[in-house]
Each structure stands twice: as structure tokens, then as C-alpha cells.
Homo-oligomer: A and B are copies of this chain.
Amino acid sequence: MRALDHPSQESISLPAVLAALSDPARLDVVRQLAASGGVVCGQFDALEHVSMSTLSHHLKVLRTAGVIHVEQRGKFRQHELRADDLESRFPGVLASVVATFGLDLPTSAQRAEPVLSR
């Protein structure tokens, strides 16, 4: 199975990111990802008035713009917000959009396993 194409961090463009975020259905995908701590495996909750093929299109727009990373995991696809890449490239842009939903941008530190002291 061929891996899906993703832009490198350096080649993520601001106009493309803003265009990807400029659609209510795609904003809802980003909201669900942020609410889930940055990663959703398998299905997104039903998006209003959006068919499965339209959802696929929206996920592709988010992926090719560099907003999400998508990877096949057995029967499911894992969708992950590229929070670190975007914050490093355009600090505050994705975070401020996610904040309009009353959510924080999940950082890699938050996603990492807790280090247990002995």
C-alpha cells in the first residue's frame, strides 16, 4: 500500500493552510481532532450535510495543505493534527483557530506518554 503524500514542514504554505481551514466542514474535522487530543482513528462523527465522499475530499484538502497527517493502520486510517509542524512554521495560526472552539491545540508534550518516576 502506497503511503499518502504529505508536504514537508518547510513546504507548508500559509495561503494553502488558510484555504484548507476556510470551510465549515473542514473546521469541524479540525475541532474534532483538537477535542480528541490531536488524533482520530477511523471515523469522524457525522458532519452535517456531508457525504462520505465529500468528507474524503475535505480530509485530502487538509492533508495536502499540511494541516493533518493521515496514515493507514490496518483497516483504519489514523488522522493526526500537524500541530507541532504548523506551530513551528506559523506560530499561533492553528492555535487561534482551535481556540475559537474553546479548545487548546494538542502539543506533542501533551500527547507523549507520561514519564514515570521510580
Q: Which residues of A contact B (CB under 8 A)?
A: 14-16, 18-19, 21-24, 27, 90-93, 95-97, 99-100
Contacts and interface: CB of A to CB of B under 8 A. Distances in A.
Contact of A92 (B22, B24, B27, B95): B95
A18 B97 contact: yes
A24 B18 contact: no
A113 to B, nearest CB: 30
Copies in the complex: 2
A62 to B, nearest CB: 13
Contacts of A18: 18-19, 21-22, 97
B91 A96 contact: yes
Contacts of A14: 27, 97, 100
Nearest to A89: B100
Contact of A93 (B15, B91, B96): B96
Contacts of A24: 15
Nearest to A87: B96
